[in-house]
Amino acid sequence: MFNEDQRNFRRMQINAKATLITLEPVPNQQYEALCVDLSATGLSLHLDDLLEVGTIVKVNIDSTSPAIAPLDATAKVIRASKEDDGTITAGLEIMQFN
């Protein structure tokens, strides 16, 4: 079966609260976001503020199960846009799991 999505890893729809803390270029700015999907190499977010492409952030997503560790990663904003409906979305590439 042909899959039009050419990513190397499948994305999981998760809709989980995420906390972002900027590391570069301006450190220690905090943002709350909704992580809408996640893969082994990246994630997509909805948030209230438009992040600059190239921004490096620490991403934390708490787990809802004691059997699953929370996500703690460093990621880079590779796309960010304001949609026609006013929603702000961002795509992040995971650089490192902490």
For 39-62, the pLDDT digits (tens) are: 989 999 999 999 999 999 999 999
Predicted TM-score (pTM) of the model is 0.84
* pLDDT level of residue 9 (50, 70, 90 thresholds): low
Average pLDDT over all residues of the chain:
89
Average pLDDT score over residue span 16-25: 96
Rg (CA), the chain: 13
* pLDDT level of residue 15 (50, 70, 90 thresholds): confident
Percent of the chain with pLDDT over 70: 89
Tell me the three state secondary structure of residue 71. Answer: strand
| Cβ atoms 34, 48 nearer than 8 A | no
> What domains does the chain contain, in order, with CATH numbers?
12-97 (2.40.10.220)
Average pLDDT score over residue span 70-88: 94
